[in-house]
Amino acid sequence: MKRIQLNYILVGAVALLLALALWPAIPWHTNQNDQLDRILSRGELRISTLNSPLTYYTTQTGAGGLDYELAQRFAAYLGVKLVVTPRRSIDELFDDLDDKRADLVAAGLIYNTERLARFRAGPAYYSVSQQLVYRQGSVRPKNIDALKGRLAVASGSAYISTLKQLKEGKHPDLTWESSSDLSSRELLEQVADGKLAYSIGDSVTIGLLQRIHPQLAVAFDITEEEPVTWYFPRGGNDSLYAAMLDFFSQMMEDGSLARLEEKYLGHVGSFDYVDTRTFLAAIDSTLPALQPLFEKYARQIDWKLLAVIAYQESHWDPTATSPTGVRGLMMLTRATAAGLGVGDRLDSEQSIQGGALYLERLMAKVPDTIPPDERIWFALAAYNMGYGHMLDARRLTKAQQGNPDSWVDVKQRLPMLSQRRYYTQTAYGYARGQEAYNYVENIRRYQASLVGYLEERQKKAAQQAALDAEYAQAYPAVPAAEALAQ
């Protein structure tokens, strides 16, 4: 009884401390300096962010991004509406906090002690290292003292603090430019294009950008892993920070944070320069002829995802054949093709139609308990190694106290299906689980490359069209008859 009583006292003490921390957030407690109370009173959580595939973006189907989804869930936790204001630069983000146009800056920013004099940092939700980048093919600098050329970073970024520390320490000759016109991403793109010798970025952003700009190369890490956080104004009480702590604690406990990180960061792994360049070249040379077929038969998924599945299978070679007898763009077995009504596996349209239908059937079989945005990864694992083996991976995950409905948990168990100590306990036995793991991860990386590359190409085409229109307006065409008369 003594031990139980002691536990109750401990729980009671923790509850009391939590209540005191969250007291300012209780609706009937009002305070003019209460940040949370102002948010609740207006019914809006206002955030400022940066446009990027990682933090916040908009498409025809809606908005996305890790910071956007986190902020959306935080707004729901508070019971208010989310209002998003995208900005072009980091300086503009903090101007919004100073001018009370935003309650939070949620933009994947690195924790920076220099900002703490004016702002507070929220809980960390992932970590990155700062890396120096150069263009592939040029001389790789081994250290800071070996830099020969322009180094530029975005104004307001944490990279400036890092450079100041380096200069004040062992590198007094270090110089750099601070750009207020170009964002960190745009500076990285300038390095990839050969317009700038060096810049600094965070490891995750660089990893994502390399899928579109493989010329972007990492010279070395400048810092160890550092936390990424939200920022909000100083002043008032701890009500907003307490609510944030509770929110992130719940997200970690129920696995929601891990799932979001898997969705946006899970495929940011090893980078293959040659493979990425080969794929981007194939987008220009081979994809245009096949794109109408992918668009026609991708009914339940985006056509670009169906296209990269085909690339992973056959590298868009309609005559591809494996030693095991699978053939065609979607690499169908003879038996699978017959069951799908595919008469000629080497016919591009029949293969794409059959592969899309087979994937639809697998997605329909995936348990309903799996979240909609993760069902495709389970289906693809089944596409590669068989539906039964995918179920074995889920059972193994559950047996090891993981979540069988979470892809981040299940994918870690896939390689175990080829290990005797595990597959002897499964219903369907041995499977090439590591191959299935690599299969899905490769597809996700190719998808990031294709989506980003097409968006980049579209953006450049729009910029060129605008320049052409501006030129045409400045220099209108002279009619032929008038030109002859002159």
Active site residues: 313
Amino acid type, 112:
N
Q: Report residue 35 as tokens.
A: 């940040």
> Helices marked H in 400-432 — which ranges?
407-410, 420-423
> DSSP state, 138?
B
Among 331, 326, 377, CA closest to 355: 331
Which residue is listed with tokens 């160890």?
224
DSSP string covering 332-369: B-HHHHHHHT-S-TTSHHHHHHHHHHHHHHHHHHS-TT
Amino acid type, 3:
R
DSSP string covering 221-234: ESS--EEEEEEEES
Bridge partners of 104, per DSSP, are 47
Among 85, 91, 52, CA closest to 71: 85
> Helices marked H in 43-131 — which ranges?
66-78, 90-98
User: What does the longest C-alpha to C-alpha distance in the chain come to?
Assistant: 110
Give yes or no for a contact between 205 and 184, defined as CB atoms under 8 angstroms apart.
yes
